[in-house]
Structure 1
Amino acid sequence: MTAESKIFVLDTNVILHDSSCIYNFQEHDIVIPITVLEELDNFKKGQQIINFHARQFVRSLDSLSSDKLFNGGMRIGPDSGRIAIRLEQRMHPDLKDTFPGQDKPDHRILNIAYCMAKADTEKSYVLVSKDVNLRMKAKSVGLMAEDYTTDHVRDLEKMYGGCREIEDVPAQGLDDMYRGDGIVAKANLMADDTPLVNNEYIILKNGKKSALAVYKKNTDTVERIHKSSAYGIIPRNAEQSFALNALLDPMTPLVSLTGKAGTGKTLLALAAALEVRKHYHQILLTRPIVPLSNKDIGYLPGDINSKISPYMQPLYDNLGVIKGQFSENSDMYSRLKRMLEDEKLMIEPLAYIRGRSLVKKYMIVDEAQNLTPLEVKTIVTRAGEGTKIVFTGDIEQIDHPYLDRNSNGLSSLVYKMQGQKLYAHVDLKKGERSELADLASDLL
């Protein structure tokens, strides 16, 4: 071990977040407290992503199975450090009075890390946890602690927004946008070194004249966007027009929409799905269930439908907005009713959909900021032929206890997929719900 090497002690939530985490510490050594294995045992059963992580990690550990795991550890790989399992130790006197709940798993994990650091002061021990409270407890007793940041998005303030405004576009180029097919070479509209990425949306301006367009990298051209509506929903601003274009485009099977509450993310996605329903076998509208109290929904009264109904209600609210445009005797209203009855349009928790084959489906994943990067990857990699997946969410409004603006799956998706020909993203900034909603979103 080099002088700069560290020994990382992993908390359970790190493994439940990323079951392959032990391969991301380079040459540094890793310690797994026995308490962590006990906690993982409680998560092995179930269909949630954390259950998958628990099972996968135990399998990975089993593949390294050796008595050495409990006796000094063993090397993970040729360029990696060592991994060891550490058994329980008597609560250190320094912690006994400070943290009286000695049977609490967090305190037992903290105690193992603290005892190791005290016994070997020449090495640097770091407790890695996604629980900010545990990290603060560790730091309060002089133990180094860090978040698991391998999948964090860096420079979030510079995150790709999906659209931009370009001023002083040549008048001739702008006029050409309104002639013929509305496709103009990029060089005729802006400087060659203007940094655009594939499927990036643009507001082209010359004085009072303007045009909405999208950049296509393979032809190095800019295509004008024709304002359209979807199942009675009409975009109210340029960003919504961009979003609807991406949602309706059959050549863009992966779309993400971000923005604060009231910007129309979910409503536009649902309206677009209904507009192009003939091209898909089914429309799936889903969201992860993350109770605000961070308790499992099992403690709620009633059957399973009663338990999940409050979490799905916002999706039904958006459907209600669309239905509310039409009279109950209209064909559009009747069609929506039949789609629900025939399960052509389904609204379900994400856990119910995981594992299904996604072929020829239009899938909308709402509140995607409450998903981990691996959960997002798991959903997208299940997309079969003819499927379109839309992720919507607000990275400033995260309910998941171990995710933040940098570590959630929606931010990761935007960061990693920007510029891909099969992907488009729009960050909606202007709220359209009401003036009061905008004021509250900005100030409260």
Structure 2
Amino acid sequence: MKKTYVLDTNVLLQDPRALFSFKENDVLVPAIVLQELDAKKKHMNEIGRNAREVARLLDQLRSRKPLHQGVPLENGGQLHVELNHRSYEKLKNILPDATNDNRIIALALNVEAEKKKEARDEQVILVSKDALVRIKAEAFGLKAEDFLSDRVIVDDDLYKGYESVHVEPVLLEQFYKNRELPVTSIPCPPLYPGSFVILKNEVKPSMSGLGRVDHEGKVLRPLTHDRESVWGIKPRNVQQKMSFDILLDQTLPLVTLTGRAGTGKTLLSMAAGLLQTEDLNIYKKLLLARPVVPMGKDIGYLPGEKEEKLRPWMQPIYDNLEFLFNANKPEEVANILSGLGSIQVEALTYIRGRSLPGQLIIVDEAQNLTKHEVKTILTRVGENTKIVLMGDPDQIDHPYLDAYNNGLAYVVERFKDQSVSGHVSLAKGERSSLAQLAADLL
């Protein structure tokens, strides 16, 4: 059965190329959606960029044929910009406020009624990222779906970076004796290069071994950077040991860390960064960055110079620096940073157009980045530079992102089988017992 998909504005603001994601079916863009896109196009952020990209794509299609008449797409479908079906009769008694969302629902209902009147066997589906729009649409008997083509995780299970396997005692003895183990001898699903394996003795579960698969994906070897502490920070669990191993591995230019609040992502990364920058002089600069995305109500414009404006956004980074430097007052950290000169705290707003060679870049809260933004950041990386992306995919403040389509999850999934990257998902909170309990219960 052929289908007609009516697109909500938020779908196009999330992914402009959603216009081409519905195969041989018809795609209908309501005129009210164009009006909403026009209101967003001047925004100097990802939303504004996507609004302008949609306008460019529609303009290219317009050169073939008038959009209101329907333009054939390469996938076999047709794209229409819908100018008719403005009647609000079907909703006015139940939803008297003719908001843009309600008008889009009304339009979809009118299109469906017209197809039934013409006895055309076509299903009309409203596609929206807004759950309330989908709920209201289905309340009126209209089929509504979320836009899922932008999801990078198909089975709702983000790659963890490690496997835990019960093995025979002889296999564990072989691993300790030979300092390596063929991957083919490990009874577990296929392992990606650079992934970790926790070997547990099936007879005595308290006995275990920890190794990482080599870059070719053939041999499991013990950790090469198994330090007792890094800048005074001792790993408290096996995932933190894994994290230090990939953070200190100079053969991995890309590291991703995920985990709930309090699992130690930021502190571990900064400790490893300070060791390699200040002590080992592997990198000439440590760049600490976060996206400027507020949680809750925005604090508005801030007075002062750039550093003063950024301070509230960068405060979590300064908190960790105070702990690592054992500073008692905030001004002590500022004095230390100005004295060192090799540590820079920056907002990602200013990274476009830069080239960053010979640096260790740590990007916190990367789950608030879109796929386009994270691509922009990774393409800034120069020679001999290592970049660390970390965040909690379940704590997203961006209005058009979720745990399955954000930039951090995108990088984890796309690079999981690449030998240049390493990933660990931290599970156990180490901030405090209260923080761990809150993460579990709330």
Q: TM-score, normalised by structure 2?
A: 0.86
User: Who is 2:420 aligned against?
Assistant: 422
Superposed, 1:168-317 pairs within 5 Å as 168=167, 170-171=169-170, 174=173, 177=176, 182=179, 184-186=180-182, 190-191=185-186, 195-206=190-201, 207=204, 209-218=207-216, 220-225=218-223, 226-228=225-227, 229-277=229-277, 278-293=281-296, 297=298, 299=300, 302=303, 309-317=311-319
Which letter maps to 1:109? I
Q: Is the 8 A contact 2:68 2:83 kept in 1?
A: no
In structure 2, give the amino acid aligned to 1:263.
T
**In the alignment, does 2:84 pair up with 1:83?**
no
| 1:15 CA drift (Å) | 1.3
1:145-204 CA deviation, whole Å, 9 max, x = no partner? Answer: 1111002211124x321112333355576466477xx4x2426x9447763221111223
Structure 1 residues 286 and 69 mapped into 2: Cα distance closer, same or farther (>3 Å)? farther
Please name the residue that 2:143 is paired with: 144
State the shift of 1:70 in Å. 3.5
Measure how far apart 1:283 and its partner are: 2.5
Is 1:93 paired with 2:71?
Answer: no
Determine the C-alpha separation between the residues in 2 that align with 1:69 and 1:88.
15
Question: Is 2:191–2:217's contact at 8 Å kept on the other side of the alignment?
Answer: no
From the superposition, tell whether residues 66 and 362 of structure 1 become closer, same or farther in structure 2 (CA, over 3 Å).
Answer: same
Is the 8 Å Cα contact of residues 165 and 187 (structure 2) preserved in structure 1?
no
Q: Distance in 1 between matches of 2:429 and 2:165?
A: 22
Does the C-alpha gap of structure 1 residues 312 and 106 become closer, same or farther in structure 2, counting only changes over 3 Å?
Answer: farther
Distance 1:308 1:144, change over 3 A: farther
CA distance in structure 1 between the aligned counterparts of 2:217 and 2:155, rounded to whole angstroms: 30
SS at 2:256's partner residue? Answer: strand
Secondary structure, in 3 states, of the residue corresponding to 2:137?
Answer: helix
Matches within 5 A, 1:3-82: 4-66=1-63, 68-77=65-74, 79-82=75-78
Percentage of matched positions with identical amino acids: 41
- Unaligned 5+ segments in structure 2 are none
Does the 8 Å contact 1:23/1:80 carry over to 2? no
Aligned partner of 2:276: which letter? V
Kept in 2, the 8 Å contact 1:169–1:204? The answer is: no
Distance in 2 (CA, whole Å) between partners of 1:116 and 1:422 is: 50
Secondary structure of the 2:213 match is strand
Q: Residues of 2 paired with 1:170 and 1:24: CA distance?
A: 51
CA distance in 2, matches of 1:135, 1:425: 35
Deviation, 1:29, is 1.2
CA 1:243–1:333 in structure 2 vs 1: closer, same or farther (change >3 Å)? farther
CA distance in structure 2 between the partners assigned to 1:441 and 1:273 by the alignment:
27
1:426: how far off?
Answer: 0.6
Residues 345/11 of structure 1: CA separation in 2 closer, same or farther (3 Å cut)? farther
CA deviation profile, 1:390-412 (whole Å, cap 9, x unmatched): 22112222223333222323223
How big is each residue's C-alpha offset from its partner over 1:181-231, in whole Å with a ceiling of 9 and x where there is no partner? x4x2426x9447763221111223444544322111526222211422333
The structure-2 alpha-carbon separation of the partners of 1:107 and 1:358, relative to structure 1 and needing over 3 Å to count, comes to farther
Question: How many angstroms apart in 1 are the aligned matches of 2:284 and 2:30?
Answer: 48
Change (3 A) 1:165 1:172: closer
User: Structure 1 residues 139 and 327, CA, compared in 2 at 3 Å: closer, same or farther?
Assistant: closer
Specify the code of the residue in structure 2 equivalent to 1:19. P
1:365 Cα deviation after fit: 2.1
Q: Distance in 1 between matches of 2:67 and 2:316?
A: 50
- Kindly tell me: are residues 357 and 58 of structure 1, through their superposed partners in 2, closer, same or farther at Cα, counting changes over 3 Å? farther
**Count of matched residue positions in the alignment of Structure 1 and Structure 2:** 427
- SS of the equivalent of 1:134 reads helix
SS of equivalent residue, structure 1 residue 42: helix
Once residues 320 and 258 of structure 2 are traced to their aligned partners in structure 1, the CA distance between those partners, rounded to angstroms, is 16
Q: Secondary structure at the match of 2:69?
A: coil
Report the Cα distance in structure 2 between the residues aligned to 1:172 and 1:113, rounded to whole angstroms: 62
| Residue matched to 1:389 | 387
Matched residue SS, 2:268: helix
Cα shift at 1:126:
1.5
State which drifts further: 202-211 or 12-21: 202-211
Distance 1:309-1:100 versus aligned 2 partners, 3 A rule = farther
- 1:323 aligns with 325
CA contact (8 A) 2:351 2:377 kept: no
Separation in 2, partners of 1:291, 1:298? 8
Q: What residue identity is the alignment partner of 1:150? A: S
Give the Å deviation of 1:308.
5.0
Query: Does structure 1 residue 106 correspond to structure 2 residue 105?
Result: no
Report the residue type matching 1:65 in the other structure: R
Whether contact under 8 Å (2:15, 2:150) holds in the other structure is no
**Aligned pair in 2 of structure 1 residues 442, 55: CA closer, same or farther (>3 Å)?**
same
Alpha-carbon distance in 2 for matches of 1:396, 1:27: 34
SS of equivalent to 1:283: strand
Deviation at 1:119, TM superposition (A): 2.1
- Amino acid across the alignment from 1:249: D
Say whether the 8 Å CA contact 2:198–2:208 is kept in structure 1.
yes
Q: Give the 3-state SS of the residue equivalent to 1:359 in structure 2.
A: coil
Q: Does 1:338 align with 2:352?
A: no
- The aligned counterpart of 1:115 is 110
The amino acid of 1:204's aligned partner reads L
- Among residues 362, 365, 371, which one is paired with 2:363 in the alignment? 365
Hey, what's the Cα distance between the residues in 2 that align with 1:63 and 1:213? 53
Distance 1:309 1:101 in 2: 42
8 Å contact kept, 1:151–1:412: no
